[in-house]
Amino acid sequence: MLIDNIRLFLTIAEKGSLVSAAREARLSSSTVSERLASLEAHYGVVLFNRTTRSLSLTDAGRTLLSGAKVILGEIEELETRIRHGAETLSGSIRVSAPIDLGRSIVSEAVSRFTTENPAISIELLLSDGYIDIVGQGFDLALRYGAVTDSTLRTRNVGHFRRVVCAAPSYVAAHGAPETLADLAQHNCLIMRFGATLDNVWRFGTGKKQQTVIVRGDKIANDGSLVRQWALEGHGIILKSELDVARDLEARRLVALLEDHAAAPYPLQMMFPPGRAQPRRVRALADALSEAMTARKT
């Protein structure tokens, strides 16, 4: 019963409410509430902060969440190895990825992975903003830039260059910038990452680094939308090579200011703290890493 209650706890944490968890588990809300109370009594702690409108994990809840995912994952893998052989991967994996990257390379890699491992199920959630990996129950997350949460386990996928580019139709209508200073005269399409506006574009490295503050008539917190605006000829973007490689190859976008290389960005894989990841998560991480490396321009 304890294991079943822990599984239900994970469902509550992932769904964010008792009602949603009850619906997912096909139980009554009162039953879910009673079993959560039983689990809290077993450990002698409160696992969720409850208000009339929200449910959030306490510190004890976060500790249980990270440990429970590992333990339950190991139980699932053990059952699979007994039933189907040691080489079979099974179970669920919850993944977070940036929107543009998630719709292209990640989704393709996920499709291949589940085809090769039919006992695996993957939930892929796309966001360009901050996510709470532990609180939202993710097994793996991909993010550009440095990782600020020192409690997370990380794996560097590689450094990928960022490309200044625009559609041929934009260049035909407005010309191409020849110097970094020329960017001030152009419509630049800008990303927002939470409270941070990505309007300071950096070029070069070390003492030769230069920064340019850009402006434009469109801002979005969705990298895929910003790229689509560029494809439609609305302005200039600064994007990872992973996001625009195919557009550059097909000449839907053209690279600009190639003599002024933008500083490369690291791509990180992040995992919850705790013991080693389940085999299925390690295998998916390897598959994603290979897919990113293969796409470099």
Tell me whether strands 140-144 and 196-197 are parallel, antiparallel or unpaired.
Answer: unpaired
| Confidence (pLDDT) at 123 | 94
The whole-number average pLDDT for the span 154-171 is 93
Mean pLDDT is lowest, of 70-79, 194-203, 262-271, for: 70-79
| Confidence (pLDDT) at 68 | 78
Largest CA distance in the chain: 69
Same fold, 88-158+265-297 and 162-263: yes
The whole-number average pLDDT for the span 153-169 is 92
| Confidence (pLDDT) at 167 | 98
- CA–CA separation, 241 and 263 (whole Å): 12
The whole-number average pLDDT for the span 49-70 is 81
Task: List the one residue out of 97, 95, 104, 133 whose CA is nearest residue 267.
Answer: 97
The whole-number average pLDDT for the span 8-32 is 87
| Confidence (pLDDT) at 129 | 82
**DSSP summary character for residue 188:** B
88-158+265-297 CATH fold:
D-Maltodextrin-Binding Protein; domain 2 (3.40.190)
SS3 248: helix
- Alpha carbons within 13 angstroms on the beta-carbon side of residue 193 total 12
Terminal alpha carbon distance of the chain: 52
Q: Where are the domains of the chain?
A: 88-158+265-297, 162-263
Q: What is the pTM of this model?
A: 0.69
Task: List the one residue out of 284, 276, 268, 275 whose CA is nearest residue 121.
Answer: 284
SS3 19: helix
3-state helix, strand, coil in the chain (%, to 5): 45, 25, 30
User: Does 297 have pLDDT greater than 60?
Assistant: no
162-263 CATH fold:
D-Maltodextrin-Binding Protein; domain 2 (3.40.190)
Whether the CB-CB separation of 201 and 262 falls below 8 Å is answered with yes
Q: Could you report the per-residue pLDDT of 252-283, keeping only the tens digit for each?
A: 999 999 888 777 888 999 998 866 678 889 99
Q: Could you report the per-residue pLDDT of 22-36, keeping only the tens digit for each?
A: 888 888 988 988 998
Whether the CB-CB separation of 141 and 97 falls below 8 Å is answered with yes
- CA–CA separation, 68 and 80 (whole Å): 18
| Confidence (pLDDT) at 20 | 87
Q: Could you report the per-residue pLDDT of 101-151, keeping only the tens digit for each?
A: 999 999 999 999 999 999 899 999 999 887 888 778 889 999 988 777 777
The whole-number average pLDDT for the span 148-163 is 85
Task: List the one residue out of 99, 226, 234, 258 whose CA is nearest residue 174.
Answer: 234
